[in-house]
Structure 1
Amino acid sequence: MGNCCGKRKDYKHVKTDENEVADLENLEHSQASRPQQRLEFVVEEERNEDILHVEPPALLKTEHVSDPEDTMDFPFFRDQKTINHIQKCQTMFIMRGPPGSGKSSLVRQLESIYKSTVVCSADMYFMTNEGQYKFDASHLPYAHKDCQDKAKAACSRGNKVVVIDNTNIKRWEMKPYIDMAKAYNYVVIIVEPRTKWRFDAEELAKRNSHGVKAEDIRKKINGYQENSPFYFGWFLSVSDSLQLKCIAKDCVIETVKNYPEIREKMFPNVESLAELTEEMVHQYFSLENEETPCTLHCTAKFLGNPKNPVPRRAEYLQREDVKSACGKVFELTITSITISPRTIGARVILTTAQCKLFDKPEEEEREKYLAAASSNRVNSLGPETPTGNLERGRSAHITIATANGVKNVQTTYDLLDICDLEWKNLMAVKNIESMPIKCGSMKQIGGDFCEVDLSSPIRVCTLFSGFY
């Protein structure tokens, strides 16, 4: 732990907020005037959706219906399945809110539930060895650097739960920690207190433990920046991500061996199958590198940024069900692996509750295209397609790998093409031959698409959150 009375290091490059300096300078004056276990796949033949709900233990159970004013009503405090998952996986909680808004209470609750929690705070730098808080505004850059160093050390050790306990009013204040989370494969959960007074400067001035004045707190509130994610999704653990990647390796090798049309598009300069090695196939999709990526996910809603908004971006961010789902565990069901010369994906079947969180404009665009084509009664799908019966969430997937230069979104379009081909084959009463492989049966649906139907569905626990 740092000490402001210790030797100073050259940390001038560490960025600080002018308002924060002013807050802490006022604090100094006011004080002077005073007297591992790895998560594995769950493979089952059948599962009732209701079984996904796991009751919390008695000590965590509440006797009333969820109260929007309950300041501790977060899934990572109340839902036992979520708690069990977080205890096994790497999760970074980034606290956010002005002084006195209730962050410390939330942090204490995290520490009480997750015993190995590492809390990183710039305030800790100003604690002396005797346990007294002595602030020095000139040392603020060093305090933040000390906090970042502690967080990085915790992430490099693989501590399961890392908590960043700063105000994080500005986006740039969170960025170093978000970058760490990406580098070390932590899922980020941004936590803001739900206290009634969280934006009441006068009340916050009374409640904060460091004596920050209402005037300075008001400046922080006025400078509060939106920090919405690029997308929301269900994030797998690192171990489950690697296992799914291993299954994909076997599937793509079998595809290349058995379907010349797909093989020739991937390797046009290879004259015979004998010339092709597994290493060449793995390299084509970057599958030889176990760290690319290490944490897979199923996107629920891509948001982009405010300057280039996607449809329903603002509405999605304000939805109560989305806010309630953040930091909660959901079980995803994987039924097949899809392969094209562009992408490898895992097809996901969503439950009714998960479908409500799923919002893909690409599905709507495809439906409009099909509707226009069917109005002319001539289209690539053959017979007229009843677009009103198309299933929402049919493009839900986990992108496992892409070919060089191909963006992840291509997996969405590939899966929608596969859905279209399936409909065409169904309407034509066309039976596609399949062949058995180690993990199920594979078939070439049409064109350059192959799908491996898994012998049993794979169910994985995932954490719903945002990617920042």
Structure 2
Amino acid sequence: NKPEDADPPVAAGSLAFAFLQDERTKAVLRESRTLLILRGLPGSGKTRLATAIKDVYEGACSVISADENVKPENNVSGEGHKALDEAIQARCMSGTPVVVVDDANDTHDRLAWLGQHAELHLYCTLFLEPLTEWSRDPEKLVQKSKQGLEKDKIQALKVVLEATSIPLFFGWFLVSKSQEHMKTMKVDFLKTLVSLDAFKNHNQLAFVDGEAEKEVNLEEYFHREGVFHCTTKFCDYGKAEGAKEYAEKQSVKESYGRVSELVLSTLFVTPRTVGARVSLTEDQLQLWPSNTKQDATSDMGMARGSHAHVMLGCAEGVGPVQTGLDLLELVQMEQESQTRDLVQDLELGSLTYYGKGMWALSLFKRDPDIIIGTCGGKPLWRQSTREISLPMFRVS
């Protein structure tokens, strides 16, 4: 006879996540920092999913459950999530590679808090719902849930959950070692640029408000916090044009939570922003939105995805969105063969000045034997003609 509290068999297809099945993804995540935020209705399969993740990442994973950390009596006193939050913070501070939060996580405020703390400790954040066929079926969840909830209560919870199903944006996030390499590359580029006579002669004044005697420190001039990423689709929690349709695309669902390479072809600096241009593959272009206000490249005679980029820093008072606008201007100058000044070849690539304080470094091919970081015995990034490849994690 089977004990009443024994776990039921795993539902077919309910664990079909890339981070559980794809070997490369699993290998990279074991050496990175990822916060997996489980969300869903009572009885939908969150705890079973958490157990599966812990089994796959044994020795590199910590599961933090609301059932174990949130006590009913604490909800009355307003201390409901205190123990849970303290446990999450402790695991992130310790650098545990994979941290799993098993809770409802069904409000914007809660998801925002989790996202902020993940960024604070440079964790990639992945929001997950169980793939069980009954995950949003109130009638079946009445039978599955151990909380004894009525159908009307589960239906009310479903409405709240669905209101937070679409994220602020989708994007590719650089994993830990790639982030460190990207920071080093950015700092080296900025230090080299500011040391060049060409930079001083052309337009150092553009960066120091016309103070001719003042030397500019580009590392301090540009500010950047959080995890480096390349946004694919800004969704505004489902309110942006085409957000719901984008979230339902099969290519988006299949790539969610899967590690692949992001290719950087150019580093660029303007008086407003510093960034890295991304060259998308054909498969990655399937994830790039088209025919929306976000992608104005078609109106400018540019290929779709021409302004894909990683924002590396912004000047004081400048928003991140300006990085993409600056890149579009640079690409347009390049296509129209506007006046440019090929300054010199640097260690990383060929430096060009386009005027108005806008600089671009086209990356060179380097020694293929030079490898930065390893993952499962394979390079974490490689370089080829005019491009640098960095593993990234597709998350929202």
Aligned with 2:51 (options 98, 108, 125) = 108
Q: CA offsets, 1:333-364, max 9 Å, x none? A: 11121111111111110111111112274675
1:229 has 2:167 as partner:
yes
1:433, distance to aligned residue in structure 2 (A): 2.8
Residue type at the aligned position of 1:251: F
Q: Which shows bigger deviation, 247-256 or 296-305?
A: 247-256
Check whether the contact 1:170–1:225 (CA below 8 A) recurs between aligned residues.
no
Paired residue for 1:138? 73
Hey, what's the Cα distance between the residues in 1 that align with 2:312 and 2:394?
A: 18
Hey, what's the Cα distance between the residues in 1 that align with 2:155 and 2:342?
A: 68
Paired residue for 2:373? none
1:120 has 2:45 as partner:
no
Q: CA offsets, 1:384-423, max 9 Å, x none? A: xxx3xx3111111111111111111111111111111111
Look up the SS of the partner of 1:433 in the other structure. strand
Paired residue for 1:262? 203
Hey, what's the Cα distance between the residues in 2 that align with 1:198 and 1:206?
A: 12
Paired residue for 2:347? 438
1:153 has 2:90 as partner:
yes
- May I ask how many residue pairs the two structures share in their alignment? 357
Hey, what's the Cα distance between the residues in 2 that align with 1:206 and 1:363?
A: 44
Identity %: 26
1:105, distance to aligned residue in structure 2 (A): 1.7
Hey, what's the Cα distance between the residues in 1 that align with 2:280 and 2:297?
A: 19
The 1:175/1:409 distance shift into structure 2, 3 A limit, reads closer
Aligned counterparts, 1:399-414, within 5 A: 399-414=311-326
Paired residue for 2:220? 283
Paired residue for 2:370? none
1:82 has 2:82 as partner:
no
The 1:363/1:223 distance shift into structure 2, 3 A limit, reads closer
Aligned with 2:154 (options 207, 217, 229) = 217
Residue type at the aligned position of 2:18: P
Check whether the contact 1:334–1:458 (CA below 8 A) recurs between aligned residues.
yes
1:183, distance to aligned residue in structure 2 (A): 2.1
Paired residue for 2:331? 419
Check whether the contact 1:118–1:162 (CA below 8 A) recurs between aligned residues.
yes
1:432, distance to aligned residue in structure 2 (A): 4.9
Hey, what's the Cα distance between the residues in 2 that align with 1:110 and 1:147?
A: 19
Aligned counterparts, 1:33-432, within 5 A: 70-115=13-58, 116-125=60-69, 137-140=72-75, 142=79, 144-227=81-164, 228-256=166-194, 257=196, 258-259=198-199, 260-271=201-212, 276=215, 280-286=217-223, 292-306=224-238, 309-359=239-289, 361=292, 364-368=295-299, 370=300, 387=301, 390-425=302-337, 432=341
Hey, what's the Cα distance between the residues in 2 that align with 1:222 and 1:340?
A: 45
The 1:434/1:69 distance shift into structure 2, 3 A limit, reads farther
1:241, distance to aligned residue in structure 2 (A): 2.2
Aligned with 2:389 (options 434, 443, 459) = 459
Check whether the contact 2:295–2:304 (CA below 8 A) recurs between aligned residues.
no
1:294, distance to aligned residue in structure 2 (A): 4.5
Paired residue for 1:36? none
1:226, distance to aligned residue in structure 2 (A): 2.2
TM-score computed with the length of structure 2 as normaliser: 0.82
1:142, distance to aligned residue in structure 2 (A): 4.4
Residue type at the aligned position of 1:120: I
1:137, distance to aligned residue in structure 2 (A): 3.6
1:143, distance to aligned residue in structure 2 (A): 5.0
Q: CA offsets, 1:167-197, max 9 Å, x none? A: 2333344343233212222111111112121
Larger radius of gyration: 1
Q: CA offsets, 1:287-321, max 9 Å, x none? A: xxxxx324211111112245xx4332221122222
Hey, what's the Cα distance between the residues in 1 that align with 2:87 and 2:344?
A: 53
Residue type at the aligned position of 1:297: H
Look up the SS of the partner of 1:234 in the other structure. strand
Hey, what's the Cα distance between the residues in 1 that align with 2:315 and 2:136?
A: 47
Aligned with 1:448 (options 354, 357, 363) = 357
Check whether the contact 1:363–1:392 (CA below 8 A) recurs between aligned residues.
no
Check whether the contact 1:92–1:186 (CA below 8 A) recurs between aligned residues.
yes
Hey, what's the Cα distance between the residues in 2 that align with 1:366 and 1:353?
A: 19
Hey, what's the Cα distance between the residues in 1 that align with 2:121 and 2:104?
A: 23
Residue type at the aligned position of 1:183: L
Look up the SS of the partner of 2:67 in the other structure. helix
Hey, what's the Cα distance between the residues in 1 that align with 2:90 and 2:294?
A: 43
Look up the SS of the partner of 2:231 in the other structure. strand
The 1:178/1:399 distance shift into structure 2, 3 A limit, reads closer
The RMSD of aligned alpha carbons is: 2.5
